[in-house]
Each structure stands twice: as structure tokens, then as C-alpha cells.
Amino acid sequence: MMQSFIKNLAKGAGDILRDGFRKEIEINHKTGHWDVVTQYDLASDKYIQDRIKRKFPKHSILSEETGREGKSDNLWIIDPLDGTRNFSRGVPFFCVSISFVKKNQLLYGAIYDPIHDELFLAERGRGATLNGKSIRVSPTIFLDSAMAAVLWHSNVVSEKLIKDLQSLARRHKFWNTTVCSAALSMVYVACGKLDLFVSKGAYPWDYSAAALIVQEAGGKISNFQSSPYKWNFDEVVAANSTLHKLIIEELK
């Protein structure tokens, strides 16, 4: 029941984004030139929040667009459009991200890419799927043959860490790519399109849903100190267990 509700939420919000893609867009800036919002972010957010409030009026909601409402242990975490800069420039890599946390434990996660019609779903303890088919992280065990996404928010990350992350990619010569969406990058690790993901400086709405999907796809996900991922972490290392260990050793 809950998984169906989240699935329908993500796909309904995704329909809004698909319908607005490459149409006339109103772009506003929030905290800086890099932090943009469009009318479609807001429309998607309203669609998701209205349906949650109608079905679960006592639950709390944490959204990128409105912050946190409520103090319930039942918490919905929403990014109505992850990859807004891509969306605003006509680049077809963005998604809806929705997770559900109960008493600080991630129980459900959904990521929907409406342009490629890819729905990633996970329920704690029951595995992860892409369009209904089970997914697993890649078996790659060598960094020099890995395909990775290394992302950071330069406004909150130290110059030293940026240099360390850049050096990490150069030393091991792994292929560093990015779709400019933390959530999509992480679920690409979950299904084996990418081998590892390292990121610092994002928010629960960027990481939480995809983090559960990575875990349920057999991946390991933690902060830079190798503490198991919690829904409010602002840094992430995600990969299969072998690559995860190698990256953590490098970060230390």
C-alpha cells in the first residue's frame, strides 16, 4: 500500500516535470546564482505535499522548497525536482525524489526520471527495483576501471576537500562523470550504470531516497568516516563493498 502510494506520487509529480520540460520557464534564484527554482519545482512540490497531507495529515514533511513542517516521527523527505539547472537549460537529466522515514529509519525511497521513464523503488529489507525489475550494484573491484560521479557544493566545501577529491580522481584515473543530479547519480550506482558516488555538501532531499535504493541494491553507503548512512548526513560514499573500502581508505 505505502509503496504504491509513493510510486504514484513520484510518477504524478514526474508527469508535471515532463509536461513542462523545454517549455517557457520562469527562473528565480534562492541562495545564490547556482540555486535556481522554476514554476515546475513548485508545481511538483505542491502536487506531492497536497496528496501526503490529504492521506497522512499528521505526518511531517521536509521539502527542499518549504523546509520542515510538523514534528511527527513519520517524516516525508521531498525533492520535487532534483537537477533544476539541467531542467532549466533543456538538459534531460533530472528527477523526483521522495523518501519516508519513521523514527529516524529510512523505510521507503523512490526516484523517478520522467524523461527516460525510469522509476527506482526501494523498501527497507525488500530490495530495490528499476521499473519493477530487481537491480544490483556493479561488481567492479578496481578504482582504475571504475566509472564514478564525484560531486560537491563549492559554497559549503573547503578548498582542501575539493583538491583532495580532484586528486583522488586523477591518481586512480577512474572515469569521473556527472549528470548534475545527486539522486540520479546515486541510483545509477544502485543499478550498475556507475560504480561509485562521492559527494559532500548536499541535503537530505538530495541523498535520502537514493541512499536506501543503493543499500537495497546490495551497495554500501556511509559518510566519509565510514559511519553507516543516516537520512540527515551531508556527505556520502556509495559503491559496492570493495570499492567503498578503497574510497574510505583514500579519504582518510
Residues across the chain: 252
Which pLDDT score is estimated for 32? 46
pLDDT in tens, the chain (252 residues): 899 999 999 999 999 999 999 987 776 655 544 456 788 999 999 999 999 999 999 999 999 999 999 999 999 999 999 998 899 899 999 999 999 999 999 999 999 999 999 999 999 999 999 999 999 999 999 988 899 988 776 555 567 666 766 677 667 666 677 788 999 999 999 999 999 999 988 899 999 999 999 999 999 999 999 999 999 999 999 999 999 999 998 887
Spell out the domain ranges in the chain: 2-134, 143-251
Contact criterion met (CB below 8 Å) for 195 and 240: yes
What does residue 235 show for φ and ψ, rounded to 5 degrees? -145, 150
Contact criterion met (CB below 8 Å) for 200 and 162: no
Task: DSSP letter for 229, please.
Answer: P
Report the topology of domain 2-134. Fructose-1,6-Bisphosphatase; Chain A, domain 1 (3.30.540)
Q: What is the CATH number of domain 143-251?
A: 3.40.190.80
